[in-house]
């Protein structure tokens, strides 16, 4: 017996050691896996991207989910196995209690984030909200809840990456900003405004330093360059015609939407403050009438044929829209920008202001807005049916707060002026206004500037090298038509089978999107070595 006992103890020791080694190895393996946090909404393609990444990368994957009725889908689905997931609306309410300014003061200092600037970049807190005017206590309460919610999650999981759509509201904008300050790599899928090409960057419309290195030297013809810009214009046209373009869908969703807004879980989320069945009915009917009246005014009082004279072109940006409110918050009052440009022009020039065709989705602007433009003596209001191509070709200079026309301008050998960071800011013919008092000088300098094709080719090569083919508008239109009544109602129950069928039918597109995100992750992982 004594001869057998040591052997037995040794075997038990080996067995325990092997088990301990396996546990440590397993823990170490998990620790070494990239941690990826997704910000998900039911109407974006990012769930499909998450599915592809989980299937093709050994990683830990998490999700912050912003949804209401589709919560049941995320709880029931087994298409993506998240390590953990949190529902934003379960943690953020419209209450005005517990407005802890001391916490927010420390938060601002810690992250160097100007919270009021972020608040005013969200249309829900601006004049665009017809249902509720938030007071200071309500806003402070909401901001505090969001900040605490995100800090708790990030402290808990410490992710390596945040994958998020282009931000356009307080909740998603704050998450992106906090992650950047904490050193979490942000991956944002966005358009390039060049044809059917998309790009994954930290900030939409901002090229990262490494992207400017080692570009190809392909010499594009003007026709090839024009094909890029026309492709993007075509995408916008497709989306504008299809998004909320069916009166039948509007009627179909009406009753379902009224049922939705009467539910308590809908009302408790701050974005929906002030929405009652009666108010929604009144405002929606009123909006339909106002849209028709405004359109008639615009048709009657705007120029449909361009006269032969010297002019500077200002392209009105869509409102409410993130491209105005986030990249250029101090120039989001476009009326003031128009007046400042008008007073800065040389005497021989007029300012042509063209309405954005997509503004139709929001029922056009108030008539008083158009009248204020028409009252400026050296300004002409141009009808949205006139194409950017036509007006740009005939202009001497293209201006916009932030917008595609200033990018298209370089293809037509026209200089441009912007009031915030844009993807083409590096071009010598693109001038960025940083001090409004310098605007008269900048305009005169821009008018004398010639666009160099070598600069244009270098820029386009950079875009092509760092982007990929992706028909975003086609995918979104099909997604809206299939699941969301043409874009009229996103807050609805979605079955697992519906999502699975859509992902399977568009597998090729989601494979491309997933592959491109994986390439970015592997690029950044290699930089760590």
pLDDT at site 242: 66
Q: What is the mean pLDDT of residues 468-477?
A: 85
- Asked if pLDDT for residue 447 goes beyond 80, the answer is yes
CA atoms of 464 and 216, how far apart (whole Å):
9
pLDDT above 60 for 271: yes
Predicted confidence band of residue 9 (pLDDT cuts 50, 70, 90): low
What count of other Cβ atoms lies within 10 Å of the Cβ of residue 112? 8
* Second-level CATH architecture of 222-465: 3-Layer(aba) Sandwich (3.40)
- Give the β-pairing of 197-201 and 185-191: antiparallel
Residue 219 near residue 457 (C-beta atoms within 8 A): yes
Q: Residue 131 gets which letter from DSSP? A: S
Q: To which residue do tokens 């013809």 refer?
A: 221
pLDDT in tens, 58-87: 999 999 999 988 899 999 999 999 999 999
Distance, CA of 371 to CA of 369 (rounded, Å): 5
Q: Which CATH number fits domain 33-191+495-528: 3.40.309.10, 3.40.1440.10, 3.40.50.20, 3.40.50.1000?
A: 3.40.50.20
Whole-number Cα distances in Å, 303 to 74, 105, 307, 359: 50, 50, 9, 17
**CA-to-CA distance for 486 and 250, rounded, in angstroms?**
9
User: Residue 428: is its pLDDT beyond 50?
Assistant: yes
pLDDT for the residue 523 = 92
Residue among 529, 517, 471, 503 at smallest CA distance from 231? 471
* Residue 245 pLDDT grade (very low, low, confident, very high; cuts 50, 70, 90): low
CA distance 414 to 389: 11
Among 172-186, 251-265, 461-475, which is the least confidently predicted range?
251-265
Secondary structure (DSSP) of 24-53: HHHHHHHHHSPEEEEEE-TTSTHHHHHHHH
Q: What is the pLDDT of residue 96?
A: 64
CA angle 517, 520, 522 (to 5 degrees): 110
**What is the percent of the chain where pLDDT is above 90?**
59
pLDDT at 221 over 70: yes
- Residue 217: what pLDDT? 79
Q: Which letter, b or e, does each residue of 254-282 get, where b requires 16 or more Cβ atoms within 10 Å of its Cβ? A: eeebeebeeeeebebbbbbbebeeeebee
Give the total residue count for the chain. Answer: 529
The gap from C-alpha 518 to its chain's centroid, in whole angstroms, comes to: 21
The token duo for 96 is 């005005």
Upper half-sphere CA count for residue 482 (Cβ side, 13 Å) = 19
Q: Which has more confidence, 268 or 157?
A: 157
Domain residue spans in the chain? 33-191+495-528, 222-465
Reported as a single tens digit per residue, the pLDDT across 122-168 is: 999 998 999 999 999 999 999 999 999 999 999 999 999 999 999 99
Compute CA 202 distance to the chain's CA centroid, rounded to the nearest angstrom: 12
**Which residues face 87 on adjacent strands?**
65
Strand segments, DSSP code E, in 283-401 are: 311-315, 350-354, 379-382, 397-399
């Amino acid at each position: 017996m004594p001869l057998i006992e040591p052997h037995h103890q040794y075997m038990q020791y080996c067995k325990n050691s092997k088990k301990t080694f396996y546990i440590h190895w397993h823990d170490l393996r998990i620790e070494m896996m990239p941690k990826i946090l997704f910000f998900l909404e039911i109407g974006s393609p990012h769930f499909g991207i998450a599915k592809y990444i989980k299937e093709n990368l050994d990683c830990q994957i998490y999700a912050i989910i912003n949804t209401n009725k589709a919560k049941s889908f995320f709880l029931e689905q087994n298409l993506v196995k998240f390590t953990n997931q949190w529902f934003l609306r379960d943690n953020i309410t419209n209450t005005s209690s517990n407005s802890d300014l001391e916490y927010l003061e420390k938060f601002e200092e810690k992250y160097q984030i100007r919270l009021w600037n972020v608040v005013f970049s969200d249309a829900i807190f601006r004049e665009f909200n017809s249902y509720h005017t938030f007071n200071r206590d309500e806003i402070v309460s909401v901001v505090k809840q969001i900040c605490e919610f995100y800090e708790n999650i990030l402290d808990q999981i410490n992710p390596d990456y945040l994958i998020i759509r282009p931000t356009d509201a307080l909740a998603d904008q704050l998450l992106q900003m906090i992650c950047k300050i904490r050193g979490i790599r942000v991956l944002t899928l966005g358009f390039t405004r060049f044809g059917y090409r998309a790009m994954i960057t930290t900030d939409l419309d901002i090229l990262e330093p490494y992207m400017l290195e080692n570009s190809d030297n392909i010499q594009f013809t003007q026709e090839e360059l024009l094909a890029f810009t026309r492709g993007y214009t075509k995408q916008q046209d497709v989306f504008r015609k299809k998004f909320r373009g069916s009166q039948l869908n509007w009627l179909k969703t009406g009753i379902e939407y009224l049922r939705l807004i009467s539910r308590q879980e809908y009302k408790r989320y701050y974005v929906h403050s002030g929405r009652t069945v009666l108010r929604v009915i009144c405002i929606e009917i009123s909006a339909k009438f106002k849209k028709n009246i405004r359109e008639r005014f615009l048709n009657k009082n705007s120029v449909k044929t361009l006269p032969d004279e010297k002019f500077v072109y200002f392209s009105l940006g869509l409102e409410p829209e993130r491209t105005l409110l986030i990249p250029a918050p101090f120039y989001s009052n476009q009326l003031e920008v128009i007046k400042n440009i008008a007073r800065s022009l040389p005497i021989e020039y007029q300012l042509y202001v063209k309405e954005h065709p997509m503004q139709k989705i929001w029922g056009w602007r108030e008539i008083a807005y158009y009248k204020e433009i028409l009252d400026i003596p050296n300004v002409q209001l141009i009808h949205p049916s006139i194409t950017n191509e036509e007006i740009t070709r005939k202009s001497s200079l293209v201006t916009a707060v932030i917008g595609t026309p200033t990018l298209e301008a370089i293809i037509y050998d026209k200089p441009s002026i912007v009031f915030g960071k844009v993807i083409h800011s590096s071009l010598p013919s693109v001038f960025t206004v940083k001090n409004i008092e310098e605007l008269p000088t900048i305009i005169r300098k821009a008018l004398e500037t010639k666009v160099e094709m070598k600069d244009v080719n270098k820029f386009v090569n950079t875009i092509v090298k760092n982007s990929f083919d992706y028909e975003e508008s086609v995918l979104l239109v099909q997604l809206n038509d299939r699941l969301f009544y043409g874009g009229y109602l996103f807050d609805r129950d979605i079955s697992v089978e519906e999502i699975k069928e859509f992902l399977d039918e568009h597998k090729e597109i989601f494979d491309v999107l997933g592959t491109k995100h994986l390439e970015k992750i592997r690029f950044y992982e290699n930089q760590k070595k």
